[in-house]
Amino acid sequence: MRLDHLANFSKGLAMQKLFYAAFAYMILGVGSGLFYREFTKANDFPEGQFTQLGLVHTHLLTLGFIVLLIVLVIEKVFVISKSHLFEWFFWVYNAGVLATSAMLAWHGSLTVMGEESTSAIAGIAGLGHIALTAGMVLLFLALRSRIVAPKDAPSVTAVPAE
């Protein structure tokens, strides 16, 4: 396999990974909105009263679906997957989104059921937010490495003519 084919193959994998992750977050985001509506109705939760359960929908759609679609476009333009930080970004960021959203859902569900939350939920949510922040920093570092890459530096896709 020539090097240019290898580079295109790995670029395609990164784009597919971003596409399918964004799609999964879209499904989770829409599903969490449906869950919020039905769960609050089933538990006779007063309409308009605040619960963190209502935030799960927007967090999954914004931080998961929309952000990863934007990163997909960034990948298409800058091929940030060539940065060694890309994989770290992808996994750390997604762990942060999932941990944060899961804790919002757990805390919100307890509120709807009239139960008290624990400090463990807040602690894990805090770790999720830390992972989100670390993931965003990794994204910017990966993007920076691709933007400031020397124009005359040899690329993986550059293959000598046969």
* pLDDT tens sequence across 33-51: 999 999 999 999 998 899 9
Residue 14 lies in a domain: yes
pTM equals 0.85
Q: What is the pLDDT of residues 82-135, one digit of tens each?
A: 999 999 999 999 999 999 999 999 999 999 999 999 999 999 999 999 999 999
Query: Which spans in the chain are helix H?
Result: 3-42, 53-59, 67-78, 85-112, 119-147
**Range of 12's domain?**
1-147
Residue 162 lies in a domain: no
Geometric angle at alpha carbon 123, from 104 and 109, rounded to 5°: 25
Q: Domain tally for the chain?
A: 1
Residue 33 lies in a domain: yes
DSSP string, 112-147: HTT----HHHHHHHHHHHHHHHHHHHHHHHHHHHHH
pLDDT band at 12 (very low <50, low <70, confident <90, very high): confident
* Contact status, residue 29 vs residue 66, Cβ threshold 8 Å: no
Residue 32 lies in a domain: yes
Residue 1 clears pLDDT 50, i.e. is over it:
no
SS3 assignment, position 154: coil
Residue 158 lies in a domain: no
Residue 154 lies in a domain: no
Residue 123 lies in a domain: yes
Residue 155 lies in a domain: no
* Contact status, residue 124 vs residue 106, Cβ threshold 8 Å: no
